[in-house]
Amino acid sequence: MCKKADILKSRPGETLEKDTIDEIIFKTKNPRNRIMLELMARGGMRVGEVLKLRAMDVHDRKLVLQEPKSGKEAEMVFVPRKVSERLKNYVRDKDIGPEERIFPLSYSAARVIVGKAGKMVNIHLTPHDLRRHAATYASRNGTPLEVISKVICRHAHLQTTRSFNCVPSKF
């Protein structure tokens, strides 16, 4: 009998490639789970931010985060158009009211969803891996570190982004 460690590739601190993330998202058939994965991997959202998102917080490509980790009253996340369209369609199709959470799940349930998505491609996957991917992908495509730090990751300090294990060390 195979052990879990034999099945899942070990990759502590390793950043996932775009093809791997795309495969994980493509293989995820449940629309709710797929959108959650995309918000983390394409928008750089923390799992807690995804879970707190309400229908009224969705404004086209701009998502308003109420009571973010930073302690500010609100922050903005910008997501790709296709992700925004899928999110808006999901809210409409599920008839989610403005004040309702879009993803009424517990933190542990969301982590299980992410973990199962990773198992589809034989890797151990965490929500933070998806968030790190968003920053890494932006960095590799020439996005300035300051933009990655303040807009994508929404870190208070540039040094936090530098130590995020996602951007080239030359920064």
Q: What is the pLDDT of residues 89-104, one digit of tens each?
A: 999 999 999 999 999 9
Condensed to tens digits (0 to 9), the pLDDT of residues 126-159 reads 998 888 876 776 666 676 666 555 555 665 555 6
Q: What is the pTM of this model?
A: 0.80
Q: Is 77 within 8 Å of 91 (Cβ atoms)?
A: no
What distance in Å separates the CA atoms of residue 80 and residue 42, rounded to the nearest whole number? Answer: 7
Sequence ranges of the domains in the chain: 15-162
Distant-in-sequence, close-in-space partners of 119: CB < 8 Å, separation ≥ 6: 7, 8, 125
What stretches of the chain adopt beta strand conformation (E)? 58-59, 62-66, 74-78
Residue 24 is which amino acid?
Answer: I
CATH topology of domain 15-162: hpI Integrase; Chain A (1.10.443)
What distance in Å separates the CA atoms of residue 31 and residue 29, rounded to the nearest whole number? Answer: 6
What distance in Å separates the CA atoms of residue 45 and residue 24, rounded to the nearest whole number? Answer: 17
Strand 58-59: give its sheet, edge to edge: 58-59, 62-66, 74-78
